[in-house]
Amino acid sequence: MIPYLKPLQELFKANTNAENARAMRAYMKDHFEFFGIKSTERRQLQEQFLAGHGLPTPFDPAVFRALWKADQREFQMFGLDLLRKQAKKAQEKDLGLIEELIITKSWWDTVDGLSSWVCGPYFLKFPNKVRPVTDAWAISENMWLRRASILFQLGYKEKTDVQILTDHIKSNLDSKEFFINKAIGWALREYGKTDPEFVRSYVKRMQPQLHPLSVREALKNL
Nearest one of 55, 155, 152, 161 to 99, comparing CA atoms: 152
Please provide the average confidence, as pLDDT, over all residues in the chain.
Answer: 98
Same fold, 1-89 and 106-222: yes
Domain map (residue ranges) of the chain: 1-89, 106-222
pLDDT tens digits, residue range 26-57?
A: 999 999 999 999 999 999 999 999 999 999 99
Looking at residue 75, its pLDDT comes to 99
The class of domain 106-222 in CATH terms is: mainly alpha
Question: In whole angstroms, what is the distance from residue 147 CA to residue 36 CA?
Answer: 28
* Angle, vertex CA 184, rays to CA 179 and CA 186, nearest 5: 90
Topology given in CATH for the domain delimited by 1-89: Leucine-rich Repeat Variant (1.25.10)
Kind and range of the H or E element at 194? Answer: none
Question: In whole angstroms, what is the distance from residue 134 CA to residue 149 CA?
Answer: 5
pLDDT tens digits, residue range 149-197?
A: 999 999 999 999 999 999 999 999 999 999 999 999 999 999 999 999 9
* Backbone torsion region of residue 34, taken as left when φ is above 0, otherwise alpha when ψ lies between -120 and 50, otherwise beta: beta
Question: In whole angstroms, what is the distance from residue 22 CA to residue 103 CA?
Answer: 25
